């Protein structure tokens, strides 16, 4: 079932889809309802052995796929729970196999008993991600789509959801497969040449290959470059609020958080922990890095600990450097700014200076106004004045990125690595053409590029890669 392009024919499919697997698909805990999944060749027989429809004369065979039927899960002669029971007939299911979903009362005890019943009838507990693995093995989705399912479940902002969703729908896969297909055609021609090597013919037009490589290279480079943005959008853009003690860092963080929390807390049952230090502004998550180190003491700049603090700041893409405008002279400010910029070096980081406590000043001194050119925002964190100027400034970092709203971004480090290796192979092919090397050597590098591009979508894969990918999934997905 597994479509794969094998370099050496050594790969063996170890994953067994002859077994029927079961798992809870909803989150653990006491809740209104819970859903338990069953997939595999025995899913329907097992399901029908433990379930009796409430309408006694209703034959499940008359009920089509995807129909929810009310009835009882039976433990021998005794009803265990009243449930909704749904059959999904192959190939129209998530895994592509026959599947059953049982929607039961959300008691962990009842869920446990239903799983136990399924196992008593021959199913076994699914491993994390095993349902999605089967969807992949059965050719329902490719590997990058499978990875997107996990990303979608983990998504916690509009940006991360959108990227995962696009990838799940196969936009990224199509792009990669398209590039690979073109390359594959050329590789076939080159390999044909090898068969006729004694005759010294060239089926593959070198100029055309060169042109194709240019095209692929350009696309690979674009995708690779999108990774830092894609990754940052997925994880949340790291932001550090730095500054001396008592300049109002916590007050600012709270002012930023409060606005966001107001929206989230309307809906009960969503986890609060996750947004502890993440602020979502217009769908983009900003992840605030704890820079407690800078608060340790006034003379922190002289202490040993300062290096550690700067290490933390280095993780950030954006640094909000705060100072107390009411207590600092222009000279002091410009000196601090210079000092801070120097220490940081220029590593593509944006530094935004925040002049806080304008509520304590009668008016902003005229000469301060020059600071505006240096990207300084004057605020009162306490009175929540001009906070929106900061959020607008944060959003700028994202806007300065891809013009097209629906650009395909690489968000997965495995894909980034594969693209990097593919780029290396393509570079080698180009060099080979330039140096007029023999076709068989060219073919090796071409195969390398094909291999690495194919590993993204799973056209080429290994048990190790699959194990690594699906290990990180939820149970029941």
**Residue 165 in contact with its own copies, rule: CB under 8 A:** yes
- The C-alpha R_g of the chain, in whole angstroms, comes to 29
Cβ atoms within 10 Å of 287's Cβ, excluding its own = 18
Number of residues that bind its own copies (CB under 8 A): 64
CA dist list (Å): 117 to 22, 50, 57, 166: 10, 7, 24, 38
Q: Which is nearer to its own copies, 110 or 427 (CB)?
A: 110
Within 325-344, which residues bind its own copies (CB under 8 A)? Answer: none
Q: Could you tell me the smallest distance in angstroms from the CB atom of residue 156 to its own copies?
A: 5
Cβ contact 300:243 at 8 Å: no
Q: Could you tell me the smallest distance in angstroms from the CB atom of residue 393 to its own copies?
A: 24
**Residue 153 in contact with its own copies, rule: CB under 8 A:** yes
**Residue 411 in contact with its own copies, rule: CB under 8 A:** no
Distance CA 156, CA 271 (A): 11
**Residue 27 in contact with its own copies, rule: CB under 8 A:** yes
Distance CA 351, CA 242 (A): 10
Q: Could you tell me the smallest distance in angstroms from the CB atom of residue 199 to its own copies?
A: 52
Q: Is 107 helix (H, G, I), strand (E, B) or coil?
A: coil
- Could you give the angle at the alpha carbon of 358 between the alpha carbons of 354 and 359, nearest 5°? 140
Q: Could you tell me the smallest distance in angstroms from the CB atom of residue 21 to its own copies?
A: 13
**Residue 69 in contact with its own copies, rule: CB under 8 A:** yes
**Residue 287 in contact with its own copies, rule: CB under 8 A:** no
What is the DSSP annotation of 244-299? STTSSHHHHHHHHHHHHHHHHTTSTTS-SGGGTTEEEETTEEEEEEP-GGGGS-GG
**Residue 77 in contact with its own copies, rule: CB under 8 A:** no
**Residue 121 in contact with its own copies, rule: CB under 8 A:** no
Among 145-153, 245-253, 389-397, 448-456, the segment contacting its own copies (CB under 8 A) = 145-153
Sign of the dihedral through C-alpha 462, 467, 468, 470? positive
**Residue 112 in contact with its own copies, rule: CB under 8 A:** yes
Distance CA 473, CA 67 (A): 28
Q: Could you tell me the smallest distance in angstroms from the CB atom of residue 173 to its own copies?
A: 15
**Residue 90 in contact with its own copies, rule: CB under 8 A:** no
**Residue 262 in contact with its own copies, rule: CB under 8 A:** no
Distance CA 357, CA 355 (A): 7
Residue linked to tokens 């502004």? 281
Among 19, 81, 260, 324, binds its own copies (CB under 8 A): 81
Q: Could you tell me the smallest distance in angstroms from the CB atom of residue 228 to its own copies?
A: 23
Q: Which residues bind its own copies (CB under 8 A)?
A: 23-35, 37, 64, 66-69, 79-82, 84, 86, 103, 105-113, 115-116, 125, 131, 149, 152-158, 160-161, 165, 168-169, 264, 266-271, 274, 474-477
């Amino acid at each position: 079932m597994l479509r794969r392009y094998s370099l050496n024919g050594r790969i063996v499919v170890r994953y067994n889809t002859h077994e029927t697997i079961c798992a809870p698909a909803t989150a653990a805990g006491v809740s209104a309802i819970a859903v338990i999944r069953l997939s595999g060749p025995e899913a329907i027989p097992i399901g029908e052995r433990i379930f009796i429809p409430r309408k006694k004369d209703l034959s499940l065979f008359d009920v089509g796929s995807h129909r929810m039927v009310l009835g009882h899960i039976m433990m021998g002669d005794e009803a265990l729970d009243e449930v909704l029971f749904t059959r999904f007939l192959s190939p129209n299911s998530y895994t592509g196999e026959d599947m059953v979903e049982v929607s039961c009362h959300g008691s962990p005890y009842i869920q446990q008993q239903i799983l136990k019943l399924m196992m008593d009838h021959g199913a076994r507990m699914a491993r994390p991600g095993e349902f999605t693995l089967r969807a992949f093995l059965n050719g329902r989705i490719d590997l990058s789509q499978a990875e997107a399912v996990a990303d979608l479940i983990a998504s916690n902002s509009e940006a991360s959801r959108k990227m995962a969703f696009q990838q799940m729908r196969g936009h990224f896969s199509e792009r990669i497969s398209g590039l690979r297909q073109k390359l594959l055609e050329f590789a076939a021609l080159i390999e044909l040449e090898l068969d006729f090597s004694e005759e010294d013919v060239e089926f593959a037009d070198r100029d055309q290959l060169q042109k194709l490589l240019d095209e692929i290279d350009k696309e690979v480079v674009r995708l690779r470059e999108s990774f830092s943005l894609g990754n940052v959008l997925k994880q949340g853009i790291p932001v550090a609020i730095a500054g001396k003690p008592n300049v109002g860092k916590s007050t600012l963080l709270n002012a930023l958080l409060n606005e966001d929390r107001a929206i989230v807390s309307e809906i009960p049952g969503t986890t609060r922990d996750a947004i502890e230090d993440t602020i979502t502004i217009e769908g983009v998550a900003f992840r605030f890095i704890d820079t407690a180190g800078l608060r340790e003491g006034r003379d922190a700049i002289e202490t040993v600990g300062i290096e550690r603090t700067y290490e933390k700041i280095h993780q950030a893409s954006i640094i909000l450097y705060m100072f107390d405008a009411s207590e600092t002279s222009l000279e002091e400010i410009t000196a601090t700014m210079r000092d801070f910029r120097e220490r940081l070096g220029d590593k593509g980081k944006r530094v935004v200076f925040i002049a806080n406590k304008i509520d304590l000043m009668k008016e902003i001194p005229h000469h301060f106004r020059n600071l505006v050119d240096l990207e300084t925002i004057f605020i009162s964190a306490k009175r929540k004045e001009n906070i929106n100027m900061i959020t607008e400034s944060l959003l700028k970092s994202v806007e300065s990125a891809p013009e097209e709203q629906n650009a395909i971004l690489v968000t997965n480090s495995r894909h980034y690595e594969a693209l990097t290796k593919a780029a290396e192979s393509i570079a080698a092919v180009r060099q080979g053409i330039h140096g007029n090397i023999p076709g068989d050597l060219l073919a090796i590098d071409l195969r390398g590029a094909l291999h690495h591009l194919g590993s993204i979508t799973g056209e080429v894969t290994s048990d190790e890669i699959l194990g690594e990918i699906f290990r990180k999934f939820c149970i029941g997905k």
